């Protein structure tokens, strides 16, 4: 079964991303075909990059990096749930990416972005794509952008618009296809 990590990229204590990431995780589990792990970057609490060597060496001096490496390495695929702040993704998220290098390579990734405004965080997702490609990740063709996130939060958590489950299912289908394609390539090599 494909090991999928849903990473909530927001670290703000009052982030809308946590309820959204819980909903995304629930949807991925209900879809089936994935062994889903929820990962909250706020709980991971990585310091600002403090490794003395380049991530590409894989020589990690700090236990927090070795733990993060093992967690990322254990996944076959990811769904990044990321906010947009000032037109881009957050510094803690970029920091979490930069801590590692080889652990990301060849992994399928889907993006769910959100914002308070009308773009749904799509500019942040677009900004992220060249970085994911540079790391050798396999981005899903489809993504989800959720505008007006504050209006979608209530006492019960995230209140998904009617069409959102179908949009997310498309991203999950893309991720599953990328993982299957990667597995097929490995068999033929």
The residues with which 83 forms a beta bridge, in sequence order, are 114
Number of domains comprising the chain: 1
pLDDT grade for 169, boundaries at 50, 70 and 90: very high
**Among 173, 183, 181, which Cα is nearest to 79's?**
173
Looking at residue 86, which CATH number applies to its domain?
Answer: 3.40.50.360
Q: How confident is the model at residue 184 (pLDDT cuts 50, 70, 90)?
A: confident
Rounded Cα distance, 144 and 146, in Å: 7
Question: For the chain, give me the number of helices (H) and strands (E)?
Answer: 6, 8
pTM: 0.95
pLDDT band for position 144 (cuts 50, 70, 90): very high
Alpha-carbon gap, residue 51 to 114, rounded angstroms: 31
pLDDT at position 187: 64
Helix, strand or coil, per DSSP, at residue 1 = coil
Tokens of 71: 């967690």
Range of the domain at 178: 2-188
List, in order, residues 6 or more apart from 176 with CB less than 8 Å away: 2, 33, 34, 77
pLDDT digits (tens, 9 = 90+) for 57-103: 999 999 999 999 999 999 999 999 999 999 999 999 999 999 999 99
């Amino acid at each position: 079964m494909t090991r999928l990590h849903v990473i909530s990229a927001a670290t703000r204590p009052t982030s809308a991303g946590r309820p959204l990431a819980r909903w995304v995780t629930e949807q991925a589990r209900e879809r089936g075909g994935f062994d889903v792990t929820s990962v909250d970057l706020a709980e991971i609490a990585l310091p600002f990059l403090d490794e003395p060597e380049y991530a590409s060496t894989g020589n990690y001096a700090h236990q927090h990096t070795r733990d993060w490496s093992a967690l990322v390495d254990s996944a076959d695929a990811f769904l990044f749930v990321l906010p947009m702040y000032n037109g881009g993704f957050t510094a803690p998220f970029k920091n979490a990416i930069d801590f590692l290098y080889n652990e990301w390579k060849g992994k399928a990734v889907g993006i769910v972005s959100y914002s308070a405004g009308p773009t749904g965080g799509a500019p942040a997702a677009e900004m992220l794509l060249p970085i994911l490609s540079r790391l050798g990740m396999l981005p899903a063709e489809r993504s989800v952008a959720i505008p007006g996130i504050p209006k979608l939060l209530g006492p019960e958590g995230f209140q998904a618009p009617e069409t959102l489950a179908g949009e997310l299912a498309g991203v999950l289908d893309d991720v599953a296809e990328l993982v299957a394609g990667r597995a097929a390539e490995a068999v033929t090599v």
